[in-house]
Structure 1
Amino acid sequence: MLFEVLIRRYNALLYKIARSYGFNHEDAEDLMQESHFSAYKSLRTFRADASYKTWLTKIHINGCYHKLNQHAIHYEEATDDVINHHTTVTPTIGENQQTEQMVMNKELGRVLEESLQQLPLVYRSVFVLREIEGFSVAEAADLLSITPVNVKVRLNRAKTMLQKQLEKFYSVADLYEFHLMYCDKIVRNVFERIAREQAEGANHDTI
């Protein structure tokens, strides 16, 4: 099914955004599933005025805001397991060098993720959309309902807060990496929910 391709393509994007809003792994997955399901239900209203990626991101950000307003957020401590699941390491030549590099990347990843979480949300959200996910200034402004000037100002402040020297050693694109091992779970849960709703609709029609 074509929709499965869309789910898999944008899982990492939605995961990073949810994490940037302070949600832990489990809450992020719940939000991802809800966003995919909401997009599926609203496909008929999608007029391609913007890209599907932008449209889905808008749905997802609204979902994050809604959950924040419900005070249902739970922060997750960065543990070795979390780091292993959400970061990647750069292979190097030689076993000893590779082991040393892996340890260094884990530590830098942990520091960067924790540093990003310490930023006020207004800066953190801009940083993720612009630097990690590659949205344009105009797209980020539209998604966050702020001006392009505000996007640029907030991004510059976010970079300063994150200590730019660390970015020379660790790619920001690896922050909050959504491991492919979770993709099947998200796809399965979304399609199970779609099937349940279709079955309920069929039962309602026969009454």
Structure 2
Amino acid sequence: MVKPWEIDLTVYEDEQALLDGLRRREPVACTCLLKRFGPRMYQLAIRLMGDPDEAEGVLQEALIQACRRIEDFEGRSGLGTWLHRIVTNTALMRLRRRKPVTVDLHEQLQKRAAVPPALVDATTEPSAEVMGAELRAMIDRALADLPDTLRTAFVLREIEGLSTREAAAELGISESALKVRVHRARLALRAALAPYLDDTGAGGKEAT
């Protein structure tokens, strides 16, 4: 199915022209905003929500907010950075409204394959071990399977590149709590990826 941002539409020459159109409340401007930033913002939303349908809802709500509140954009950053914050906040608000679900992380990890010792090193990211479309798809699935609290912490800190302080502030938790969640997310992701890494000869085994 064609995504809304895949339409063939070019109206504004650059970001400044798009911003001017948004401020003039030109109807086509919001569509162009979606076309320009939709793919990247959708990937952010799906990583935070863990569900494609909910991600589309987040993106739609965030775009509506952005177009309505364009006067709030002060130009201290790019439109993409400003929209990134709106999408993040929208996703986190939706997650907070969910009914809390209790997850026994230790039990879930035991159900998965043993984690190769090399992957327990907190300085090594799963995505750095093996590259390729297959692993990327596995990481996306593993991210979606994480509890909301772990997934959002990992996405903001390790994928979106926020500092520990920034990610903790976004989630409304302490920096130490953020670090714990990221660490647990890493362990869960490595456990989920362990069979794949074993099959490809990774996992800390030395070549012979």
TM-score (norm 2): 0.50
Matches within 5 A, 1:118-197: 118-163=145-190, 166=193
- RCO higher in structure (CA 8 A, sep ≥6): 1
User: What's 2:139 paired with?
Assistant: 112
- Check 1:52–1:135 CA distance in 2 against 1; reply closer, same or farther (3 A cut): farther
What is the CA distance between 1:46 and its match in structure 2? 3.7
- Distance in 1, Cα, partners of 2:82 & 2:147: 25
Shift of 1:126: 1.4
**1:72-83 aligned within 5 A:** none
Residue 9 of structure 1: how far off its partner (Å)? 5.8
Quick check: 2:50–2:143 contact (8 Å CA) kept in 1?
A: no
Aligned: 1:42 with 2:69? yes
1:30 paired to 2:74? no
On the 8 A contact 2:49/2:91 being kept in 1, the answer is: no
Distance 1:70 1:10 in 2: 27
Q: Residue type matched to 2:42 in 1?
A: Y
CA distance in 2, matches of 1:144, 1:51: 23
Task: Select which of 44, 49, 53 maps to 1:17.
Answer: 44
SS of 2:173 mapped into structure 1:
coil
Q: How far does residue 125 in structure 1 lie from its aligned partner after superposition?
A: 0.7
What is the aligned partner in structure 1 of residue 114 from structure 2?
Answer: none
Q: Is the 8 A contact 2:48 2:91 kept in 1?
A: yes
Which residue type is aligned with residue 140 of structure 1? A
Identity %: 33
Unaligned ranges ≥5, structure 2: 1-11, 13-17, 20-28, 100-130, 198-208
8 Å CA contact 1:57, 1:143 repeated in 2: no
CA offset at residue 162 of structure 1?
A: 0.9
CA contact (8 A) 1:16 1:128 kept: no
Alignment-mate amino acid for residue 56 of structure 1: L
TM-score for the superposition, normalised by structure 1: 0.51
**Partner SS state of residue 27, structure 1:** helix
CA distance in 1, matches of 2:143, 2:33: 28
Give unpaired runs (5+ residues) of structure 1: 72-103, 170-207
Q: CA RMSD in A?
A: 3.6
How many pairs are equivalent? 137
The letter for the 2-side match of 1:138 is: R
Deviations 1:56-105 (A, max 9, x none): 3443234224445378xxxxxxxxxxxxxxxxxxxxxxxxxxxxxxxx93
Q: Which amino acid aligns with 2:187?
A: T
